Amino acid sequence: MKTHGIIPDEWIVSYASGALSEAHALVVATHCHFHPDLQQKLIDAENIGAMLMESRPLAKVSSHMFDDIISKIDDLPNKAMQPSNDNGLPFPLADYLNHKSLDQLNWRMMGPGLSQVRLWTGPNDERLWLLKAKGGAKIPPHDHRGIELTLVLQGSYHVGNDQYGPGLLEIADDETKNHTPLIDPGEDCICLVVTEAPIKIHSFLGRLAQPFIGL
């Protein structure tokens, strides 16, 4: 069963098992921050992982491991203070951004009403970025290669009849053709996005600009 804007369970299992990339894990963890029922599912999935770990045949650990640990903990410095989460963002993202606020990031203009911050590039050109679009802006029609996850942090947008607001997540893939998100009028829409490969923009001008805007 597909629920609008909520990540399907197989992603929760993959997150819990450690099978996601850094970018996908950040989007899933941040998405879960908005939804207590997803947090409960995640705990259930991690409980399953823990029980599977506990049920493994025991490995032999070296006879000196415990003494090695004791000598290491005797030398440990005092713990550093944890930075507080005071930038108003969901914890996983705030932590990922080293507790900087969105305004302190290096936003790059991509076109009229659109700017982005590149956060991470992984193997096979997987990219994690923040996208900021002015209210009323239209993202150029495009197709996808691989999966695109878009998590709304602020503002909202429409794709056809589906609306995506804060905490909701859209999954687009190879089969999502002519994807044309329309930003709702009003406040800026800020999203956390992962793409697995550059998107295919339809218009000639869009394609010309693509290498410079980095989509």
Partner 1 sequence: MDEPSVFSDYSHEQLVILVARNKDRNAFHQLFDYFAPRIKSYLLNFNISDQGAEDLTQDVMITLWQKADKFDPEKAKISTWLFRVARNKYIDKVRQQKYPEVNADDHIASMIAPEKTDQTIKEQQDRGRIEMAMAVLNDEQRKVIELSFFKELSHSQIAEATNLPLGTVKSRIRMAFQALREELGDYR
Residues near partner 1, by CB under 8 A: 8-10, 12-14, 16-22, 25-26, 29-30, 32-33, 36, 39-62, 65-70, 72-73, 76, 79, 85, 91-93, 95-96, 122
Rounded Cα–Cα distance for residues 195 and 124 (Å): 10
Of 113 and 122, nearer to partner 1 (C-beta) is 122
Q: How far is the CB of 186 from partner 1 (least distance, A)?
A: 28
Closest CB to partner 1 among residues 161, 175: 175
Minimum CB–partner distance for residue 146 and partner 1 (Å): 9
- For 39: left if phi > 0, alpha if psi spans -120 to 50, otherwise beta; the answer is alpha
Integer CA distances (angstroms), 143 to 12, 40, 163, 183, in order: 26, 34, 19, 18
Cβ atoms of 185 and 150 within 8 Å: the answer is: no
Whichever of 57 and 112 has its CB closer to partner 1, that residue is 57
At residue 182, the 3 state secondary structure works out as: strand
For partner 1, which is the closer residue by CB, 76 or 103? 76
Quote the least distance from Cβ 65 to partner 1, whole Å. Answer: 6
Query: Could you tell me the smallest distance in angstroms from the CB atom of residue 116 to partner 1?
Result: 19
By CB neighbour count within 10 A (0-12 exposed, 13-18 middle, 19+ buried), where does 90 fall? Answer: buried
